[in-house]
């Protein structure tokens, strides 16, 4: 089974491109962002805790996300592949994911990294904030903080997966279809 991490900064299009890969390959899509938003909407204890961090443009604590992923992995039956969207976000989470997958005799196949320039990210997030009502996408200071947090805490994953020979940079600019085709071509080679 392919184990793919769809990676990139906020606004890179991970959710949109994950759907294209799910439709094309029939993979399971594990989006921690969607799961956390569902918890927030349901006003669960996990959701309320996560909301405090998300609204400030910070990452949700590792133990919260890892606990949620463990539960989800236990529910997954045989599928052609899994796309991790929004996880891992830190090297510590990547190592924890590796441990979980190794215990299941699996491993990460590739980190598919959507590469998008900073100004394009800000533009996309502001547009998404206008159309979706997501409060974390409507304020420039929060957006800049989210990108800074990504650069400081999440971007080191590129080095981690490069050392493992699993880093695959994908140009994340152009039409949605052009980006999808680049991703599908890369996955076909795996």
Using CA atoms, how far residue 188 sits from 2, 115, 183, in Å, is: 11, 19, 9
CATH number for the segment(s) 2-180: 3.40.50.300
pLDDT recorded at residue 99: 87
Question: pLDDT tens across 49-63, in order?
Answer: 888 888 888 878 877
Q: Angle, nearest 10°, between helix axes 140-149 and 118-132?
A: 130
Active-site residue, selected from the candidate residues 51, 124, 128, 166 = 128
- Report CA-CA distances (Å) from 140 to 2, 120, 126: 37, 13, 8
SS3 content of the chain, % helix, strand, coil (to 5): 60, 15, 25
Q: In the structure, what pLDDT confidence band is assigned to residue 167 with cuts at 50, 70 and 90?
A: very high
Token pair listed for 129: 């904030």
Distance in angstroms (rounded) separating the CA atoms of residues 110 and 95:
14
Is 70 a residue of the active site?
A: no
Query: Considering only CA atoms, which of 77, 7, 72 is closest in space to residue 35?
Result: 72
Considering 89, 124, 166, 182, which one is annotated as catalytic?
A: 89
Angle value at C-alpha 3, between 47 and 93, nearest 5 degrees: 45
Active site annotation includes 128? yes
Residues 146, 155, 118, 35, CA torsion sign: negative
Task: Give pTM, 2 decimals.
Answer: 0.80
- The rounded distance, in Å, linking the Cα atoms of 2 and 171 is 21
Is 146 assigned a catalytic role? yes
- Candidate list 37, 52, 70, 134, residue with the active-site label: 134
Of 37, 70, 123, 146, the active-site residue reads 146
pLDDT digits (tens, 9 = 90+) for 84-119: 987 888 898 899 889 888 887 889 999 999 999 999
């Amino acid at each position: 089974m392919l184990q793919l991490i769809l990676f990139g900064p906020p606004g890179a299009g991970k959710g949109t491109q994950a759907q294209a890969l799910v439709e094309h390959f029939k993979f399971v899509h594990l989006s921690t962002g969607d799961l956390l938003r569902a918890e927030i909407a349901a006003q669960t204890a996990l959701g309320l805790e996560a909301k405090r961090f998300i609204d400030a443009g910070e990452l949700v604590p590792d133990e919260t996300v890892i606990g949620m992923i463990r539960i989800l992995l236990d529910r997954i039956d045989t599928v052609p592949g899994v796309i991790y969207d929004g996880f891992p976000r830190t090297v510590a989470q990547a190592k924890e994911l590796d441990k979980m997958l190794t215990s299941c005799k699996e491993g990460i196949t590739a980190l598919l990294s959507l590469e998008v320039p900073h100004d394009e990210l800000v533009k996309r997030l502001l547009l998404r904030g206008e159309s979706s009502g997501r409060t974390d996408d409507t304020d420039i200071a929060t957006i800049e903080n989210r990108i800074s947090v990504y650069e400081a805490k999440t971007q080191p994953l590129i080095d981690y997966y490069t050392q493992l020979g699993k880093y695959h940079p994908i140009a994340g600019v152009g039409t949605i279809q052009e980006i999808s085709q680049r991703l599908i071509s890369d996955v076909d080679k795996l």
